[in-house]
Structure 1
Amino acid sequence: MEKSWAALFALCFGFFMILLDSTIVQVAVPSLMTGLPATLNEVFWVNSVYLLTFAVPLLLTGRLGDRFGPRRLYLAGLVIFTAASLWCGLAQDAPDLIAARAVQGLGAAALTPQSMAFISYLFPTNRGAAMGAWGSVAGLATIAGPVLGGLITETLGWEWIFIVNVPVGIIAIALVLWLVPNWQPRHSHRFDVPGIVLSSLGLFAVVFGIQNGELYDRTTIAAVLATGGVLIAIFLWWQHKNPNEPLLPLRLFKNRTFSFGSLTGVLIGFAMAAMFIPLMIYLQSVLGMTPLETGLFMGPMSVVSAILAPFAGRLSDRIEGKYIIIVGLLAYAAGIGSVAVIAQPGLNSWALVPGLLLCGVGIGTIFSPLSSTTISGLAPSLIGAGAGIYNMSRQVGNVLGSAAAGLLMQIASTELLEAARITMLLPALVLLGAAFTAARMRKELVAAH
């Protein structure tokens, strides 16, 4: 058991780094706009392209891990991510940085499903505690990004939020080689090339259409969004008709808990991405905080989340996880909703602390139970595909949330405060929807085949 926990530590070390980069850029938005320089839309693409190339391949990389070994895919992802991080730090203009972030996302996609699949192998029993640790890392990384991003941006410059990944990535590679067993599930999967192409192009078109809604005429944007919708519809039809092994096994969604857990993951990802950028812009551009002050101000939220997540994971071994998830979602919605309602110019920043602490409570009690509950009942041969779909659901939500936040902020960019307030109300409403979908989950017996 000690070896299992040591292996989980090594896996979480790299997992923390790649999730950190989902949010670490957001606190550096004003610095990127002046330092590169970059337009607001280009800065949103720096964030969105990472989330997009992170999300789209997850269905494929989960299968690749099943076939070629999770440790091999995890290490490949770490190498790609680390090299791309150096490229990001050396980027000379916005298009260069966007390209480097796209490659970073591909590395993250190769790595992420493997960490979750390994938990099912390393912890055949007492999985809730392991998921608690994994969920603690996921929640902490997501909200620690602004803290570390603010510290690094102000003291070293925005480039170093990427360059710092290089030594961390090297350490992560060494830990995985040392502590993680070379587990080989050796499930012989066929690879659905049409499915990969259709899902990638469809999701890209939807995100492009949402995020660039203010840059092109309505007819063009409507055509792009319609194209994305048609491609996704064809993708789903193909998954149903595919006589070989589909990229998205629709039979997984016969499991009610997996279906509603994945949908809840989409909504949570949407809310988290839509929350941070307007919050960072409000704190810095309206209240006048520096990046460092902004990061430190977010610190207590990170601490609360990190403390609660392991307890939430253990508790989900004892009671039905959906009840813990619902409480967390309602707390999170109340927290960000209260911040949006009271946000004003010249506001004493301490007035925001109760709402942000509620956000920390919510985040800390969501990830662990949702992860373990969603994949409960899946057959061992479907764990890789299930982990890929579950992780993809949250990342797809991140992509759509980032794009929607970008659109709302740009629509009202001349009224920055009002734009930030409206955009922060959006995730609060989405989280209420997530509480409803989480309530539809139910405890499943673990499949034995």
Structure 2
Amino acid sequence: MEPSSSPPAITEPAAAGSGEPLAHRRLVFGIVAIALLMASIDQTIVATALNAIRGDLKAELTWSGWTITVYALGQIIVMPLAGRLGDQFGRKKIFLGAAALFTVASLCCSLADNIYLLVVFRAFQAIGGGAFMPTATGIVAEQFGRDRDRAIGMFTSIFPIGGIIGPIIGGIIVTYWSWREIFVVNIPIGLLLIVLGLRFIPSSVPKATSRIDGTGAFLLAVTMLFGMYGISSLGSAGAEPTDPLFIVAMLIALVLGFLFVRHANRYATPFIPISLLRGRGFGAMNTINFLFGAAMLGFGALVPLYAESRYGIPPLQAGTLLTARAVGMICVAGLAVFALRRTGYRAPMIGGFVLVAGGMTLMSLAPHGLTPYAWLAMAAGITGIGMGLSIPASNNASLQLAPDQISAIAGLRGMFRQSGGIVAVSVTTAILNHATDAGTTQAHSFVVFAAILLLMIPITFLVPDHRGTW
């Protein structure tokens, strides 16, 4: 590969039709990987700065927490939208637009002088960050041809890296500078992404020339917004399922969801085809992704809290338990990716679910022969190994069902997983708010998460298995 040579004018149909990997594929993978890593870091880096933000902006804790919640909500809403937009208008355009929005929003976050503006700017930042995954998936699939299954599987190792270094970077920046520099560091990276993307990412031919379904996009966005807002409100202190806020938000979400489904069934070219939401293959994978997010993402977010409340482990040490999980995940994910063509999708998903369920069960039990920290670290490492085994297979299983709609499917996958995670965290924290012994109650919740994973195993048999290349 010669840096001085111009990138070939690759169009999407040519790449897809030939199946041959393209010359600049590794460079393109590196560019989109930087974007994914930056979005992943921003999911966790702000958590270390909550107290600093609260003190500097004189904000209530609930509003400070919304700097994290709104980022997750924004990503949930934008993932399926960005996937569809990438298919319709070209993935390079949406990717570069996302990078520009993320960069500008990061600058605005660093300059915010009150908590309300900061939450608004974080929402715009989430729109940019959420658009990276579906567009990056489509771009990499075009570049790697018949090797796209392995390339997409390698995305598995990027997000845990962000989970490892995000809190560390955030702690260093807050300690030696201020919380504002957490957002400032995104600006040069975002500018670099834009320059490299303009230079090396080839343009793709849009898959559809029909007018975009604006009504469907709006209905889906507001359905997710009201649904996730209602569910996240359960996590507030003193919140009850009978609270008017929760009931009204969920009723609005149900009505809007019904209108969205009816519109998608009647519209000639819907924003999200109903075929991607139901049926033996997609219906099963969407269910798996939602439960996967509830069990694995919800579990991960609650591990440090569990270590602190049950065993009195200091916060910084409790946070490193997620590092043990991420290390286990990274170690296995690469091997799982290259074994996919021999194992198919079902075997690694089932094996991974069993391992994660086992690790969660161990974590819920009292330590045997080890210190509490060592016991929890061992259990977290086992869950990481299970995640590294199952995630590459689950990432590819739904994409293989319709390779011509990769971006839209990747966006829906992220939406279902993030939704499951928020539901699990919100419901669990609502239960913990009313528990007399939070540590023991949370141990019981881990057993429930493990049971959910085991119940997912029969569903995997509804997913078409596949060996070899796509």
Flag whether TM exceeds 0.5 (same fold): yes
Report the AA paired with residue 212 of structure 2: F
- The match for 1:8 is 29
Larger radius of gyration: 2
Q: Deviations over 1:162-211 (max 9, x none)?
A: 33222322233233233322222342143222222322222222222222
Distance 1:35 1:290 in 2: 22
Give the share of equivalent positions with the same residue, in percent. 24
Counterpart pick for 1:222 among 247, 255, 279: 247
Deviations 1:325-381 (A, max 9, x none): 2211222222233324448xxx6422211111012112212222111121113152x
Distance in 2 (alpha carbons) for counterparts of 1:40 and 1:415? 23
Root mean square deviation, CA, Å: 3.2
CA distance in 2, matches of 1:40, 1:281: 17
Q: What is the distance in 2 between the residues matched to 1:114 and 1:142? A: 21
Bigger shift: residues 212-221 or 168-177: 212-221
Q: Describe the shift of the 1:86–1:402 C-alpha distance in structure 2 as closer, same or farther (beyond 3 A).
A: farther
The AA in structure 2 aligned to 1:261 is M
CA distance in 2, matches of 1:163, 1:271: 33
Range with greater deviation from structure 2 (94-103 or 32-41): 32-41
Alpha-carbon distance in structure 1 between the residues aligned to 2:276 and 2:51: 43
Residue in 2 that maps onto 1:441: 463
Shift of 1:290: 4.6
Contact 1:44 1:402 in 2 (8 A): no
Give the TM-score normalised by structure 1: 0.86
User: Compared with structure 1, are the counterparts of its residues 251 and 47 closer, same or farther at alpha carbon in structure 2 (3 Å cutoff)?
Assistant: same
Q: Does 1:289 align with 2:289?
A: no
Extract unaligned runs of 5+ from structure 2. 1-20
After TM superposition, the structure 1 = structure 2 runs for residues 103-118 of structure 1, keeping only pairs within 5 Å, are: 103-118=124-139
User: Is contact 1:150-1:295 (8 Å) kept?
Assistant: no
Q: Matched residues in 2 for 1:142 and 1:269: separation?
A: 16
Query: Residue 389 of structure 2 corresponds to which residue in structure 1?
Result: 365
Q: Is the 8 A contact 2:341 2:468 kept in 1?
A: no
Matched with 1:195 is: 216
Which shows bigger deviation, 78-87 or 26-35? 26-35
1:23-422 alignment to 2 at 5 Å? 23-26=44-47, 28=49, 36=57, 38-142=59-163, 144-154=165-175, 156-213=177-234, 214-215=238-239, 218=242, 220=244, 221-242=246-267, 244-253=268-277, 256-283=280-307, 287-291=312-316, 293-342=317-366, 348-380=372-404, 382-412=405-435, 416-418=438-440, 420-421=442-443
Q: Describe the superposition over 1:281-332 as per-residue Cα deviations: whole angstroms up to 9, x where unpaired.
A: 34457635254x4454533322222222121111112221121122112222
Q: TM-score normalised to the size of structure 2? A: 0.83
Number of equivalenced pairs: 443
Q: Deviations over 1:420-444 (max 9, x none)?
A: 5455555434433444433431225
Question: Structure 2 CA distance, aligned partners of 1:176 and 1:157?
Answer: 30
Tell me the SS of whatever aligns to 2:45.
coil
Instruction: List gaps (5 residues or longer) in structure 1.
Output: none
Change (3 A) 1:428 1:103: farther
How far off its partner does 1:396 sit?
2.6
| Comparing 250-259 and 53-62, the one that deviates more | 250-259
Separation in 2, partners of 1:447, 1:190: 34
Deviation at 1:7, TM superposition (A): 0.9
Deviation at 1:144, TM superposition (A): 4.8
* Letter matched to residue 143 of structure 2: L
1:401-421 CA distances to partner (integer Å, 9 max, x unpaired)? Answer: 343344344444x75535654
How big is the shift at 1:50? 1.1
| 294 and 154 in structure 1: CA distance in 2 versus 1, 3 angstrom threshold | farther
* Pair 1:277–1:298, CA change in 2 (3 A): closer
SS of alignment partner, residue 190 of structure 1 = coil
